[in-house]
Structure 1
Amino acid sequence: MTQHSEEEIVRFDNVGLRYGTGKEVLSDVSFSLFPGRFYFLTGASGAGKTSLLKLLYLAQRPSRGVIKMFGQDAITLPRDRLPGFRRRIGVVFQNFRLLPHLSAFDNVALPLRVAGVAEKDLRKPVGDMLEWVGLADRIDAKPATLSGGEQQRVAIARAVIGRPDMLVADEPTGNVDAEMAARLMRLFEALNRLGTSVIVATHDLQLLRKVPDSMIMRLDKGKLSDPTGALRYPPRRSLS
């Protein structure tokens, strides 16, 4: 097994989240994430997976509790520091969120442009990244001309082009066939081997067997079970 630093990059302590005046969608959630690990977040539809991911990529603030990321309090982080923090987190959204008027190249280049990378320095890293996800021949294609699997790979390339410390993926295999799902998981594993912590939310329990050294967290009605990641493959155990 790969050795990892034990200095946590994320810590949730008794985090709760509610939208408006409704009941909590997440309750007393506590866990830690560590560098270079691969995590699966599982649970039935409506369990709160997407809400938890929104907290992880700083799109949502909790209603209560403590969230620390990269050694700092993420809840009280000044607004002007959020962009720099977010650049350390790659996100693959369930619905891709590609910009329809931009080519595959320009969609992938977007995070680098936002970070201030000069145009002359974009061609090689973006081209290499599209080649890495198997889309070197679709570099000028607009999203509408790409298949669902191709759009997903562009979204992944965009999420990882800046070599984030953490990658968060919401049901990344939900819109592709089994063969493409396996290919996407190999891409995530390759990124993980480069040192990025990967968190994949999925309802597909078959995926858990594809990354033997992964750690598994399960949400059930807004509460987290097995937060230490003790449940893993192998050995094979029930997720119920």
Structure 2
Amino acid sequence: MNADSAEVVTFDNVGLRYGTDREILSDISFTLHPGGFYFLTGASGAGKTSMLKLLYLAQRPSRGAIRMFGTDVITLPRDRLPPFRRRLGVVFQDFRLVPHLSAYDNVALPLRVSGVRESELRKPVADMLEWVGLSHRAEARPATLSGGEQQRVAIARAVIGRPDMLVADEPTGNVDPDMALKLLRLFEALNRLGTTVVVATHDVHLLRKVPDSLIMRIDKGRLSDPTGALRFPPRRDQRAQVEL
């Protein structure tokens, strides 16, 4: 796998249905490039969460092709998917923190899985907890944290390993506007280091906070991309072109 691939992810005529129901997603085609910042938006039930599941490899499509980091992940055996998943950071809408671990240990988990020594992970984990305003809650377990605090721990865990791609499902939904902006700036900083960022959100105000972002609008299971901008590396002036 090549981290410098010209394409991080490519969807080609992807469709998704659950069982025998009608398709949730239809004819989805786009390419995400290294260093791009993308917002995924659309009405509730439009298909955003289903598309994110395909992006972080929790779901396989019913049809079409998906390439990730230069490899066809549809035909790849499931036992070969973990190395791809380790290159992804995911912020789930329901947080998915490990309940018996402290906030510190939840954030440290990706580094430990990657084999980072304890002496080398203490500072980055402490710095990340400070950034999200939770240094004073480092030893707290998820059940004792508020929803907004759990959200911040989940975000810190997702970005601590500087993933090649970050996928975030409504990452600012449980925090106040000031913290939402601070978290968005954290995503921007990670993006400047080369991480491709995909943020699904209902908050239209966030879309204006990242001037160089592209907007992927999904409506009734179909992706709107009138200019074809999602198939080419983003330019500084493409944000307004992609938004309908």
Fold similarity call, TM over 0.5:
yes
Residue of structure 1 in register with 2:72 after alignment: 73
Kindly tell me: are residues 133 and 177 of structure 1, through their superposed partners in 2, closer, same or farther at Cα, counting changes over 3 Å? closer
1:194, distance to aligned residue in structure 2 (A): 1.4
- Contact kept? 1:208, 1:233, Cα under 8 Å: no
Residue of structure 2 in register with 1:117 after alignment: 116
Root-mean-square deviation over aligned CA pairs: 2.2
Residue of structure 1 in register with 2:52 after alignment: 53
1:126, distance to aligned residue in structure 2 (A): 1.7
Residue of structure 2 in register with 1:84 after alignment: 83
- Contact kept? 2:159, 2:166, Cα under 8 Å: yes
Moved more, 216-225 or 102-111: 102-111
**Partner-residue secondary structure (3-state), 1:137:** helix
**Partner-residue secondary structure (3-state), 2:179:** helix
CA offsets, 1:67-118, max 9 Å, x none?
A: 0000000111222221111010000011111122210011111122222333
Whole-Å separation in 1 of the counterparts to 2:59 and 2:182:
30
Residue of structure 2 in register with 1:24 after alignment: 23
- Contact kept? 2:215, 2:242, Cα under 8 Å: no
Whole-Å separation in 2 of the counterparts to 1:6 and 1:81:
19
Q: Which runs of 5+ in 2 are unaligned?
A: none
1:144, distance to aligned residue in structure 2 (A): 2.2
Whole-Å separation in 2 of the counterparts to 1:174 and 1:158:
17
**Partner-residue secondary structure (3-state), 1:107:** helix
Q: How many residues align?
A: 236
1:232, distance to aligned residue in structure 2 (A): 8.8
Kindly tell me: are residues 187 and 218 of structure 1, through their superposed partners in 2, closer, same or farther at Cα, counting changes over 3 Å? same
Q: Which runs of 5+ in 1 are unaligned?
A: none
**Partner-residue secondary structure (3-state), 1:164:** coil
**Partner-residue secondary structure (3-state), 1:101:** coil
1:202, distance to aligned residue in structure 2 (A): 0.8
- Contact kept? 1:159, 1:167, Cα under 8 Å: yes
Residue of structure 1 in register with 2:37 after alignment: 38
Whole-Å separation in 1 of the counterparts to 2:101 and 2:80:
28
1:7, distance to aligned residue in structure 2 (A): 1.1
- Contact kept? 2:5, 2:69, Cα under 8 Å: no
Whole-Å separation in 2 of the counterparts to 1:112 and 1:203:
31
Whole-Å separation in 2 of the counterparts to 1:72 and 1:174:
33
- Contact kept? 1:43, 1:49, Cα under 8 Å: yes
**Partner-residue secondary structure (3-state), 1:151:** helix
Residue of structure 1 in register with 2:154 after alignment: 155
Q: What is the TM-score when the length of structure 1 is the normalising length?
A: 0.91
Q: What is the TM-score when the length of structure 2 is the normalising length?
A: 0.89
Whole-Å separation in 2 of the counterparts to 1:91 and 1:235:
24
Residue of structure 1 in register with 2:229 after alignment: 228
Whole-Å separation in 2 of the counterparts to 1:231 and 1:109:
35
Residue of structure 1 in register with 2:132 after alignment: 133
